[in-house]
Amino acid sequence: MRACVYEEYGGPDVVSVAEVATPSPKEGELLVKVAAASVTTADWRFRSASFPVVFALAGRLLVGVLRPRHPVLGMDFAGEVAAIGAGVSDFRVGERVFGAATRGAHAEYVTVRADGAVTRTPPGLSDAEAAAVPFGANSALAFLRDFGAVRAGQRVLVVGASGGVGVWAVQIARHLGAEVTGVASAKNLELVRSLGAARALDYGSEAYLEPGAGYDLIFDTLGATTFAQARPALAPSGTYLPLTAGLREIAQSITTRFGRGPRVKFAISANTRALMEENAALLAAGTLRPIVDEVFPMERIADAHRRVEGRHKRGSVIVRMAAA
Ligand SMILES: NC(=O)c1ccc[n+]([C@@H]2O[C@H](COP(=O)([O-])OP(=O)(O)OC[C@H]3O[C@@H](n4cnc5c(N)ncnc54)[C@H](OP(=O)(O)O)[C@@H]3O)[C@@H](O)[C@H]2O)c1
């Protein structure tokens, strides 16, 4: 099969298309013929070994200390079941599925654990749209509902509301009943409002952390703010929830737990079957909709990485696989 491979850490051009062996599903696994896959900020980090300082060592140990241990990147995929391994009874060959593999989704075929983060693609969703879902929607649901405990009537500020996680955060906070304010640039304000934000603020021209704003939760998806800056805009019992936390935020999450006033919450999310199924149900109901920034053919994988690394995408960047 053809796959997008990289043999060394570096810029977007270290990734190219090459012929590799097609994987075969082991016991408990599905082989998925990939129609579309997403290049996420995680793929950019793995490709360039650009990890937040606090994860630098763990990141290298995970992907390879001197060079990448696994040549094919990619977690989020959409396609159809091509084969099933022994012991799999809840999927059938030919079914449309989408999900997040551990790795290897930037290829014509990928294997994924059948009890992992994979589920049936809701009718009406294209493969490109489905591949745009897992990374952002699973992170947003875990962070807002499970870690941030967002409840109806709360005021939520999403910083980076047009990004890969942000477009889902706005929709999910709204779905949980919050009044949402999204921070984006002028060109994306209309998008952010269309996702359900009551207010959309331009980070280029507005000081959006207004003292006394009384947000119950500030979800910074980018690291564009600090707790010190956000604190005056939080309600007394409010929470500052950074998606990209460093040592400072980890320390603050411990110290603010014991004092009075707003607190910092440090968390890391993981893709699970439960999150996939919950997001699939919300997509099927029309509560959520994917935002696709741009679709690239497999041969332009380096351009897709460039778009992601630029940190100005709207929603998700998609790569279409050749065998689709
Ligand atoms: N800890 C975890 O469990 C976890 C899980 C998922 C993701 N993450 C991390 O979360 C981060 C976010 O990923 P992502 O894919 O959502 O990012 P992204 O898609 O690359 O974010 C880009 C978006 O941010 C907007 N933006 C840029 N600067 C901004 C600013 N100063 N204020 C407001 N918006 C701004 C851009 O809009 P303009 O073009 O208009 O500027 C663009 O739409 C990544 O670092 C990722 O590694 C962590």
pTM: 0.96
Q: Whose CA is nearest to atom 5 of ligand 1?
A: 139
Query: Residue 235: which residues within 8 A CB-CB, separation 6 or more?
Result: 155, 214, 215, 216, 262
Mean pLDDT score across all residues of the chain: 96
* Average pLDDT of the residues in 15-20: 97
Per-residue pLDDT at 324: 46
User: How far, in Å, from the CA of 308 to the mean position of ligand 1?
Assistant: 10
Q: Which atom of ligand 1 is nearest to the CA of 159?
A: 33
Closest CA to 131 of 38, 197, 44: 38
Helices and strands, counts by H and E, the chain: 10, 15
Q: Which atom of ligand 1 is nearest to the CA of 161?
A: 34
* Average pLDDT of the residues in 1-10: 97
Q: What is the 3-state secondary structure (H, E, C) of 90-138?
A: CCCCCCEEEEECCCCCCECEEEEECCCCEEECCCCCCHHHHHCCHHHHH
Q: With bands split at pLDDT 50, 70 and 90, how would you rate the model's confidence at 323? A: low
How much of the chain, in percent, has pLDDT values that exceed 90? 92
Q: Which atom of ligand 1 is nearest to the CA of 224?
A: 31
Judge contact between 33 and 80, C-beta under 8 A. yes
Q: With bands split at pLDDT 50, 70 and 90, how would you rate the model's confidence at 178? A: very high
Instruction: Residue 195: count other Cβ atoms within 10 Å of its Cβ.
Output: 26
The answer, yes or no, to whether any atom of ligand 1 lies below 6 A from the CB of 221, is yes
- Spacing of C-alpha 203 from chain mean position: 22
Instruction: Residue 267: count other Cβ atoms within 10 Å of its Cβ.
Output: 15
Q: Whose CA is nearest to atom 36 of ligand 1?
A: 312
pLDDT digits (tens, 9 = 90+) for 99-157: 999 999 999 999 999 999 999 999 999 999 999 999 999 999 999 999 999 999 999 99
User: How far, in Å, from the CA of 311 to the mean position of ligand 1?
Assistant: 6
**What's the CA gap between 42 and 256, in Å, rounded?**
29
Where do runs of H (alpha helix) occur along the chain?
41-48, 56-63, 127-131, 134-141, 166-175, 189-194, 227-230, 247-258, 273-284, 301-309
How much of the chain, in percent, has pLDDT values that exceed 70? 99
> Domains of the chain (ranges plus CATH)?
2-133+290-320 (3.90.180.10), 135-264 (3.40.50.720)
pLDDT digits (tens, 9 = 90+) for 234-263: 999 999 999 998 899 999 999 999 889 999
Q: With bands split at pLDDT 50, 70 and 90, how would you rate the model's confidence at 58? A: confident
